[in-house]
Amino acid sequence: MAPEELKQIHPLGKAPLVSIQAAGMSKPLILAESGLIIEYLIDHFGPQLAPKRYAEGKEGQVGGETEEWVRYRYYMHYGEGSIMPYLLVALLMGSKSSSLMRHKLALTRPFPDIQTNSPFFIKPISNAIVNNINSMFLEPNFKTHFGFLESQITSSPHGGQYLCGTELTGADIMMSFPLGAAKGRAGFNKEKHPKLWAYVERVESREAYKKAVQKIIDVEGSYDPTL
């Protein structure tokens, strides 16, 4: 769980948070929500990480947006709005009887998952509920989503190897957390999703990604993207 002190910075007390104090500001600007934080940082410090918005000659026109930009904006919402909720439900359910998860999620975190933490006399019932949620809700949705993402990377604009085309964008940064968390779990495996798998490894092998992971290790002692 997030430390209580985060609530002194933002009422929801979740990470990540960014506090900006620039010259002339009477109080810091606090940014929450990873999508907004990424977009804000790109606006000010990394405009090369956002694709061009409009096709040549179609500036400001409805439908004049490039495919790269529409994908970019889509993934800014999809990451936290569509794929993360399933991963969170999977975390809450636990994974003991689930064929979806190869590893136990959150083993090292003080997070009470339903299967592990039910009293023994409730376990047959809680296990049945968890199994139903897995087979009727999580499994089909993970299948749809990872199949969709495999097809998205396959059809990347201009034969690119990133989600929005030939260059890394903020959308890849946004998606690196849920995809890193799901890799090898949740039905996302190398055999069924070879292109998506290679894409995640491509992102993770970039020097900037490795540097970011190292920074987390320097502060936290380790990095485990499994929530």
Q: Where does this chain touch ligand GSH (CB under 6 A) — which range of 14-22, 41-49, 129-137, 188-196?
A: 14-22
| Of 69, 84, 105, 100, residue with least CA distance to 14 | 84
* Range 79-118, binding ligand GSH (CB under 6 A): 80
Q: How many residues bind ligand GSH (CB under 6 A)?
A: 8
Residue 14 contacts ligand GSH per CB under 6 A = yes
Cα 135 to Cα 8: distance, rounded to the nearest angstrom? 40
Q: Which is nearer to ligand GSH, 33 or 67 (CB)?
A: 33
Q: Which is nearer to ligand GSH, 4 or 218 (CB)?
A: 4
Residues 28/21, Cβ–Cβ less than 8 Å: yes
Residues 200/180, Cβ–Cβ less than 8 Å: yes
**From the list 31, 34, 172, 175, which residue makes contact with ligand GSH (rule: CB under 6 A)?**
34
Residue 208 contacts ligand GSH per CB under 6 A = no
CB of 34 to ligand GSH, least distance (A): 4
Q: Which is nearer to ligand GSH, 150 or 203 (CB)?
A: 203
Residue 1 contacts ligand GSH per CB under 6 A = yes
Cα 66 to Cα 59: distance, rounded to the nearest angstrom? 10
* Range 62-81, binding ligand GSH (CB under 6 A): 80
Q: Which is nearer to ligand GSH, 18 or 133 (CB)?
A: 18
Q: Where does this chain touch ligand GSH (CB under 6 A) — which range of 9-17, 44-52, 162-170, 205-213?
A: 9-17
**Contact residues for ligand GSH (CB under 6 A)?**
1-2, 14-16, 33-34, 80
